[in-house]
Amino acid sequence: MTKNGNLEVPISTPGRIYVRKRKENPKHRETIFVLCDTCFWCATYLGKFMLPAENRCPNCLDTELSSFPILSDESFTFNYDQKRGVELNFGSRKKK
């Protein structure tokens, strides 16, 4: 991938290799936090193509999943307490 987000797709013919550039859809690389509203199973996915099939929780098989996109400059913490439930805190990602 190039710096401007283009994909380099190799195309080969006998004796030659060409590179064709095409725009990548940024949604395919979007980080997504998924939470089951029933059993509180959760995961972070690195692209929409990885999301659970049929929007079904892999733990309890319910279809009550909530999802939140996470921007590249965002971070979050997840805490669960039996008395208080789920707590999500979103903030800016610290630069190294």
pLDDT of the residue at 88: 83
Sites in the chain below the pLDDT cut of 70: 1-29, 95-96
**For 66-83, how does the pLDDT look when each residue is reduced to its tens digit (9 = 90+)?**
988 888 888 888 888 888
Phi-psi map region of 28: left, alpha, beta (phi>0 left; psi -120 to 50 alpha) = alpha
pLDDT of the residue at 38: 92
pLDDT of the residue at 48: 78
Structural domain boundaries of the chain? 6-92
pTM metric for this prediction: 0.58
pLDDT of the residue at 24: 56
